[in-house]
Each structure stands twice: as structure tokens, then as C-alpha cells.
Amino acid sequence: MRRAGGAGGRRAVAESARASGREAGYGPLRRAGFAAAAGLAAALVTEADRRPRDAFGRLTDPSADGYAWAWLAASAHLTAARRSLVAASWA
């Protein structure tokens, strides 16, 4: 999902979650003990899909800050988890 966000932008992240169902995609993460990763993924998808519009179809909050922060948090967590798993595999 993080790669989709980097390559395709927020719409790609939102569409990928619509195709698989929001909560269905995070169940395996939660069951494997990665509750924080599941929460960050859910936050990223929620923020990617948040595009409030007024009655004329114009964006009411065009700022991308929330999406950028959610993407950065997911990316930082993924990097830390990857390092931790690699270190544990060598120990």
C-alpha cells in the first residue's frame, strides 16, 4: 500500500482499499501481532479517501498535510519493523 501511495498517489491507496474492503485487509496484520501496522495502514487509507467537497464539487480542504503525515508514519513504521525483523533473524 505504501508503494501504491508513492507511485500512484492518494487515489491509488484509496482505490486499493475499496477493492479489498477496509477492515478485511488489516485482519491478517492484527492476527499476526502487528496491531500498530494495521492501525497505521487504516489511518493512511482513511486519510487517502478523505476528500471533502462542497455543494459545487470543489475541495473544501485541499491540503495534503494529513495524507503526507499518514504516509510518513506508515513508511517510518515499516522501515523500523523491517530492520527489527532482520536483526531478529540474525540473532
The model's pLDDT over 9-66, given as tens digits with 9 standing for 90+, comes to 777 777 766 666 656 667 788 888 888 988 998 888 888 887 777 888 887 877 778 8
Q: What is the DSSP letter of 50?
A: -
What was the pLDDT predicted at 6?
56
What was the pLDDT predicted at 80?
94
Torsion on CA atoms 50, 53, 58, 63, rounded to nearest 10: -40
